[in-house]
Amino acid sequence: MNNPYQPIPAKILEVIEETPNIRTFVLKPEEDIPFLAGQFVELTIPGFGEAPFTPSSSQFEREKLEMTIMRVGRATGALFTNKAGDVLGIRGPYGKPYPLDKFVGRDIYIVGGGVGLAPLRALFLALVHEIKKYGRIYLRYGARTPNDVVYKKQLKEWEKIKGVDIDLSVDSADGPWERKVGVVTCLMDEIPCDVKRSVAVVCGPPIMMKFVTRRLLEAGFPGESIYLSMETNMSCGLGQCGHCRLGPYFTCKDGPVLTWEQIKDIEEPFL
């Protein structure tokens, strides 16, 4: 039997600078990593160890795998010293994917903040790959400043897709910016879909998740239709160590995507 802790070598094909502290690593794993949108992998970073990240590329693109990563501390600092040609390791995929079968025929209202657009990009690309199966796809994205917006070019391309509706905001505009200024909830004053029949998907910093969820509930989304990426501390990724416990759940196994209905009784779920 294969050792579940054994990473698969993955060569870095390209490193794309998204913002001053966020980069997309384009990787070519030696074996297929059959991830589905929403699942995560453990990335081996030479000289550091492992850390969990979510692929941001399409699950239908099997030749390469992309991860969009923000530099915050030791693991990500070590990762950012790597360049094209270096070799990392990947084990996984782990966790449950977005239940796309439950999204069929419904409008999908996606809200992202900061680097939280990374896992949502994998979802978005999976949805547009089979766009006829779904209703309208709304994407609301907020970043701190125009400089902090990830996927600048792709966002412009995605806006041209029929059936897709995108709106953007920044907390403060320190440079040229033609869209809204304000935290991401300023894009949610009017929610243009039938909330009782639609699905909402959220990923971003904990404080953003808290206020966006509150707004979605106020607008009338049922708790079981609000999908949240719960990126708690993880270690083994295999449901063995308990590092990722969130109330009754192990987020590595039961998540990382959980519905508001599942977590609503947990005290302070967004910590």
Ligand X SMILES: Cc1cc2nc3c(=O)[nH]c(=O)nc-3n(C[C@H](O)[C@H](O)[C@H](O)COP(=O)(O)OP(=O)(O)OC[C@H]3O[C@@H](n4cnc5c(N)ncnc54)[C@H](O)[C@@H]3O)c2cc1C
Residues engaged in binding ligand FES (CB under 6 A): 234-237, 239-244, 250, 252
In the complex with ligand X, which residue's Cβ is closer, 195 or 252?
Answer: 252
C-alpha to C-alpha distance for 55 and 41, rounded to whole angstroms = 7
Q: Considering CB distances under 5 to 8 angstroms, the limit depending on partner class, which of ligand FES, ligand X, none binds residue 222?
A: none
Q: Considering CB distances under 5 to 8 angstroms, the limit depending on partner class, which of ligand FES, ligand X, none binds residue 97?
A: none
Residue 152, token pair as written in the block:
């600048």
Report, in Å, the least distance between residue 170 CB and ligand X: 17
Q: Considering CB distances under 5 to 8 angstroms, the limit depending on partner class, which of ligand X, ligand FES, none binds residue 34?
A: none
Q: Is residue 152 close enough to count as binding ligand X by CB under 6 A?
A: no
Report, in Å, the least distance between residue 53 CB and ligand X: 4
Rounded to the nearest 5°, which phi and psi values hold at 32?
Answer: -65, 135
Using DSSP's 3-state secondary structure scheme, residue 85 falls into: coil
Report, in Å, the least distance between residue 251 CB and ligand FES: 7
In the complex with ligand FES, which residue's Cβ is closer, 136 or 253?
Answer: 253
Q: Considering CB distances under 5 to 8 angstroms, the limit depending on partner class, which of ligand FES, ligand X, none binds residue 145?
A: none
- Note the Cα 121 to chain centre separation in Å: 7
Cβ-proximal residues to 71 (8 Å cutoff; 6+ apart), any chain:
21, 22, 23, 77, 79, 80
Q: Considering CB distances under 5 to 8 angstroms, the limit depending on partner class, which of ligand X, ligand FES, none binds residue 136?
A: none
Which of 27, 37, 38, 53 touches ligand X by CB under 6 A? 53
Per DSSP, helices labelled H in 90-205 are: 100-103, 117-129, 152-158
Using DSSP's 3-state secondary structure scheme, residue 169 falls into: strand
Helix, strand, coil percentages, rounded to 5, for the chain: 25, 30, 45
Q: Is residue 119 close enough to count as binding ligand X by CB under 6 A?
A: yes
